[in-house]
């Protein structure tokens, strides 16, 4: 189903090149999937004695907008290398005044407000090799891995970054930012942060029985939570650049805290229990 590769990894990180570009020994691997090409090559390196595969979510040149990312290929490619736990750092807007720029929030819930994204592997559509997946329904009541969330929060605490434990990430289609009315409505629902890439990453990871943890960095107060002209692309990039080193340190510490693949014991590992997906997972 996927191109055979000699290199393997146990942990995946979906994020930008700033997370791996400084490593001394990085191997670049192109991976083919039944769902087309992932966003870019996968970059393999070692952190805290763990083999990690990095995948630039938007491509290394940031040429893919959120609604055009091949999320299915990205998660499939990671699993084909042996990855079973995924950390997904992303930039978000804060929906509450107390969640200002520089806040690290590890969400425990998600709301999907996207419109046109393929969000399942199990749609009955025949794959290029002739296999046809069955229609199955996985539970997503708790969309994020509790073990991964704990590792991320402990890593932040050790770095003196008091991350917000829990909150709802609402995912919008993009690539535009919210209108002020949309932002006010999101906040009125009690949601914490808003982003464009958390869905369908979490859903597809669960369908592959991968542990998935979102780590959201607030880069701005979303339009309804502030006065003035609202959020700009330049503002987001500036705040993210100012915090990427700190986020990278926490991310790498979290990698070291994740359990060995054989020791995973969480809700993610049995997502397909009792179901027949109809296709062989890599």
Tell me the two tokens of residue 128.
């290029």
Mapped onto helix, strand or coil, the DSSP state of residue 180 is helix
Is 25 annotated in the active site?
no
Please state, in angstroms and rounded to a whole number, the distance separating the CA atoms of residues 41 and 20.
Answer: 13
* Active-site position among 40, 112, 220, 253: 220
Residues paired with residue 104 on neighbouring β-strands, in sequence order: 217
Please state, in angstroms and rounded to a whole number, the distance separating the CA atoms of residues 222 and 213.
Answer: 23
* Active-site position among 123, 222, 263, 276: 222
Mapped onto helix, strand or coil, the DSSP state of residue 267 is helix
Is 108 annotated in the active site?
no
Q: How many helices (H) and strands (E) does the chain have?
A: 5, 11
- DSSP secondary structure letters along 161-218: ---EE--EEEEE--SSPPPHHHHHHHHHTT--EEESSHHHHHHHHHHTT-EEEEEEEE
- Annotated catalytic residues are 220, 222
């Amino acid at each position: 189903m996927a191109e055979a590769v000699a290199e393997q990894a146990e942990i995946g990180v979906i994020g930008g090149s700033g997370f791996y570009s400084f490593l001394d020994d990085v191997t670049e691997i192109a991976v083919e999937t039944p769902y087309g090409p992932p966003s870019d090559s996968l970059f393999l390196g070692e952190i805290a004695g763990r083999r990690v595969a990095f995948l630039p979510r938007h491509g290394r040149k940031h040429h893919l907008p959120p609604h055009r990312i091949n999320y299915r290929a990205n998660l499939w490619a990671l699993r084909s290398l042996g990855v079973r736990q995924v950390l997904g750092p992303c930039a978000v807007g804060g929906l509450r005044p107390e969640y200002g720029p520089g806040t690290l929030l590890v969400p425990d819930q998600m709301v999907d407000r996207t419109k046109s994204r393929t969000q399942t592997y199990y749609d009955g559509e025949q794959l290029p090799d002739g296999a046809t997946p069955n229609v199955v329904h996985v539970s997503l009541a708790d969309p994020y891995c509790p073990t991964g969330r704990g590792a991320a929060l402990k890593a932040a605490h050790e770095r003196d970054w008091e991350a917000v434990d829990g909150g709802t990430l609402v995912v919008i289609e993009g690539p535009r930012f919210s209108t002020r009315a949309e932002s006010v409505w999101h906040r009125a629902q009690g949601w914490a942060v808003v982003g464009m890439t958390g869905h369908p990453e979490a859903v597809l990871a669960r369908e592959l029985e991968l542990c998935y943890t979102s780590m959201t960095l607030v880069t701005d107060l979303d339009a309804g939570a502030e006065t003035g002209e609202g959020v700009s692309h330049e503002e987001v990039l500036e705040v993210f650049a100012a915090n990427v080193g700190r986020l990278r340190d926490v991310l790498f510490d979290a990698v070291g805290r994740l359990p060995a693949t054989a020791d995973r014991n969480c809700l993610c590992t049995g997502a397909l229990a009792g179901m027949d997906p109809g296709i062989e997972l890599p």
